[in-house]
Amino acid sequence: METKIVLTGILKSRNEFLIVQRSEDDELYPGAWEFPGGHLENGETLKEGLKRELKEEIGYNHNFDCKLIGYDDEVKNNIHHIELNFIINVKKKDIKVKLSNEHSNYRWVKKDSNLLDDYIKSKIENI
């Protein structure tokens, strides 16, 4: 069985979280708001993969400490999908977001924001 691992970087500054909006022409969930992240590539450690994804998606190229705060997994079509969610504490004023073409917008929001669907809210409900 194939395994696919997705790493999610949840950047938190005080009581706000950085979210990004998927491009409208994206095949999967166009226009949806999410936390930055992506698939772990062969040969990468979790932190290396997370660092690469944050650099690609939002231009974040700083050393950071992160903490695993949760995971989701399911088996679908004989593929084991694993999503690992990491919290990264940052200072908002130090973040200069440069979006990739995968995303069209970003915002700093509180955990009760209407932009967040229930799935995204569940990732941060206990933070």
Residue 107 lies in a domain: yes
CATH number at residue 40: 3.90.79.10
What per-residue confidence (pLDDT) applies to 26? 87
Residue 18 lies in a domain: yes
What per-residue confidence (pLDDT) applies to 28? 84
Q: pLDDT tens across 16-34, in order?
A: 999 999 999 988 889 999 9
Residue 126 lies in a domain: no
Q: In whole angstroms, give the CA distance from residue 15 to residue 5.
A: 28
Strands 2-13 and 79-89: parallel
Q: Tell whether pTM > 0.75.
A: yes
Residue 41 lies in a domain: yes
**Mean pLDDT, range 33-56, rounded to an integer:** 97
Residue 112 lies in a domain: yes
Q: pLDDT tens across 76-116, in order?
A: 999 999 999 999 999 999 999 999 999 999 999 999 999 99
Q: In whole angstroms, give the CA distance from residue 76 to residue 10.
A: 25
Bridge partners (DSSP) of residue 36 are: none
What per-residue confidence (pLDDT) applies to 29? 87
CA angle 91, 95, 101 (to 5 degrees): 145
Share of the chain above pLDDT 70, in %: 100
Residue 123 lies in a domain: no
- Residue-range definition of the domain harbouring residue 9: 2-117
**Mean pLDDT, range 48-62, rounded to an integer:** 97
Domain count, the chain: 1
Residue 122 lies in a domain: no
What per-residue confidence (pLDDT) applies to 126? 84
Residue 12 lies in a domain: yes
